[in-house]
Structure 1
């Protein structure tokens, strides 16, 4: 049965208009982005199937374009819609971060960094640059690949701090394995960067490790 044949109050679009987006299930929200299902299957049924196959909404939305295209029922158009929806969420969180003072609202910073880095299948090292009042100047992805002492170059971080006239920074990088426990290499990198930036009077406020769940803060561990 097509969604158009459902009672009006059960159709995702009409339900959203009447009761708000929070009233919709994950499958119904997915159906609005997917737009249509496939032969013999409504968009809501397709949404339910995808959630069941991948176990959760987060796992589904963390797939890259190649993985989405491999999913039965998702062609290029539907895959692009899902990726566009996720990018809109990232940009929304980015604007929220820029309006907040990162040190006063560490949760907003952690949420944004998780949204930005959590979906990568490879490691990415990012830096949030802050001014004297700890307001966000910019957030940039500086390095990609295996994050270790050989791939993270303090001179590049120093150069960007000087170019942006930053007074403080917050680092973040992801663990594609999903395990957000900091390694000894993570602690060593943080120490090397902190020492290098101290020479130009730039403070390192935190380093978040992004995996599954809440990002791990090295500052909260007492390692900054």
Structure 2
């Protein structure tokens, strides 16, 4: 007697909030990050808000860009606690060289929701800008993600 073929049923689970935000970040990246769109601070802030806005601990990331400011890669590099993450300039330089980036946008979140840059945020931005300049990688901005976003470039801090 021939055996019946096994039937598999695919069940669809609802997406989690994190999955929804990840998908939104992908859509923003596909829609806006082609050509010279990195001139748009709003699109960059939207992308970073979707990528990093829901994190419960501090995460420091970089947007690695080519000479036309198109994104090569978004990479989360350092993970911290609820109010701090250690950032190592050597590792940021290494990643920039690894993908042959011409420019970088730095980003990190403040899980408290308050995006106001701290003195240590300003200090590490300056250190990273100096370190990356030694290998001809330009820092275009540093964006702090909270309930809203703060751009160092818009504030004249870069």
Asked if 1:179 corresponds to 2:106, the answer is no
Asked if structure 2 preserves the Cα contact closer than 8 Å seen for 1:90 and 1:116, the reply is yes
Q: Distance in 1 between matches of 2:18 and 2:77?
A: 22
Q: Distance in 2 between matches of 1:106 and 1:94?
A: 13
Asked if 1:200 corresponds to 2:141, the answer is no
**Aligned counterpart in structure 2 of residue 139 of structure 1, from 74, 77, 81:** 74
Q: How many residues align?
A: 144
Q: How does 1:64-143 map to 2 (within 5 A)?
A: 77-78=13-14, 80-143=15-78
* Root mean square deviation, CA, Å: 1.6
| Shift in Å, 1:222 | 1.0
Asked if structure 2 preserves the Cα contact closer than 8 Å seen for 1:93 and 1:111, the reply is yes
Which structure has more relative contact order (CA 8 Å, sep 6+)? It is 2
Matching residue of 2:3: none
Asked if structure 1 preserves the Cα contact closer than 8 Å seen for 2:18 and 2:54, the reply is no
Matching residue of 1:212: 147
Structure exhibiting the larger radius of gyration computed from Cα positions = 1
Return the structure number with greater helix share.
Answer: 1
Which has the larger displacement, 134-143 or 96-105? 96-105
Return the structure number with greater strand share.
Answer: 2
TM-score normalised to structure 1 length: 0.60
Matching residue of 1:14: none
Matching residue of 1:56: none
Asked if structure 2 preserves the Cα contact closer than 8 Å seen for 1:101 and 1:136, the reply is no
| Unpaired runs of at least 5, structure 2 | 1-12
SS at match of 1:103: helix
| Shift in Å, 1:200 | 0.2
| Shift in Å, 1:94 | 2.4
Q: How does 1:3-22 map to 2 (within 5 A)?
A: none
SS at match of 2:129: helix
Deviations 1:34-82 (A, max 9, x none): xxxxxxxxxxxxxxxxxxxxxxxxxxxxxxxxxxxxxxxxxxx44x455
